[in-house]
Amino acid sequence: MVKLMLALDVMDKNKALEIVKETSEYIDAIKIGYPLVLATDLKIVKEIKELSNKEIICDFKVADIPSTNEKIAKLTLQYADGIICHGFVGEDSVKAIQNIAKENNKKVIMVTEMSHPGAVMFMQPIANELAKLAKKLGVDGVVAPSTRPERLKEIKEIVGEISIISPGIGAQGGDLEKVLRILSNDDYIIVGRSIYNSESPKESAKMYKEKLKNNF
Ligand code: 3DU
């Protein structure tokens, strides 16, 4: 089954913990990014890991020189199971993160093409090259867009066995039915606002989980 990753982009600690408790029976993984960490602190990652016992991925889209990437990865992977980085900064920057992750048995997920409209300006033209780099480096996952199923398909064909983490379902308007025809068992969809902003995050998470179970 394709897995459900909750993007927990709320900016209030209690709300975050509440949503995790409410939705945990329906989600497979939790993605924590800058909104929640900057509103609280990095220890929120540890707290949510302990509370949920789910796979926790930090979406810090790390994009710096190798030595700085290494420091960010060390701090993040004390608590998180994986970290998201950019590949456009080049092979050495991604490898620096992979070295830290390997020591700790953690995941590195690399962005190829983002899901928002602006990604067609600069990212889309190099996204296939980024996907090839991801494959060459043997990263543990790549981010590819649910908002552009044809691009999702192309990127999946390039990366082969590497798992896809795909944002864009829900608030960004991605078509889940089309996306599920492309994704396979170890892939994930990321859903944020349409779960945490809904009247009942629990019911919304349940609805997505059921769609994944029934393959729509
Ligand atoms: O649109 P949503 O609220 O379902 O959230 C999507 C999440 O995925 C959010 O955390 C965003 O920062 C992240 N993301 C993208 O939306 C697009 C990307 O290419 C990569 C990450």
Residue nearest (by alpha carbon) to ligand 1 atom 8? 167
The DSSP output letter for 149 is: H
Residue 215 binned pLDDT confidence (cut-offs 50, 70, 90): confident
Verify whether residue 132 is a known catalytic residue.
no
Residue 52 binned pLDDT confidence (cut-offs 50, 70, 90): very high
Q: Is the pLDDT of residue 216 over 90?
A: no
Ligand 1 and 113: CB distance under 6 A: no
For range 174-194, the mean pLDDT:
97
Q: How far is CA 175 from the centre of its chain?
A: 18
Ligand 1 and 13: CB distance under 6 A: no
> What's the token pair of residue 106?
């953690």
Element holding 22 (H helix, E strand):
helix 13-23
Residue nearest (by alpha carbon) to ligand 1 atom 21? 167
Q: How far is the CA of 181 from the centre of ligand 1 (A)?
A: 21
pLDDT tens for each residue of 192-209: 999 999 999 999 999 999
Q: What is the DSSP string of 44-87?
A: HHHHHHHHH-SEEEEEEEE-S-HHHHHHHHHHHTTT-SEEEEES
Verify whether residue 61 is a known catalytic residue.
yes
**Ranges of each domain in the chain:** 3-214
Ligand 1 and 66: CB distance under 6 A: no
For range 48-77, the mean pLDDT:
98
Mean pLDDT, the chain, rounded, equals 98
Q: Which residues contact 201 (CB under 8 A, 6 or more apart)?
A: 19, 22, 23, 195
| ipTM, two decimals | 0.97
Verify whether residue 15 is a known catalytic residue.
no
Angle between helices 149-159 and 124-137 (to 10 degrees): 30
Whether residue 192 is annotated as binding a ligand: the answer is yes
Whether residue 169 is annotated as binding a ligand: the answer is yes
pTM score, two decimals? 0.98
Give me the architecture of the 3-214 domain, per CATH. Answer: Alpha-Beta Barrel (3.20)
pLDDT tens for each residue of 75-114: 999 999 999 999 999 999 999 999 999 999 999 999 999 9
Q: Are 189 and 176 in contact (CB under 8 A)?
A: yes
Percent with pLDDT over 70 in the chain: 100
Residue nearest (by alpha carbon) to ligand 1 atom 10? 7
Q: Is the pLDDT of residue 212 over 90?
A: yes
Whether residue 144 is annotated as binding a ligand: the answer is no
pLDDT confidence of residue 213: 95
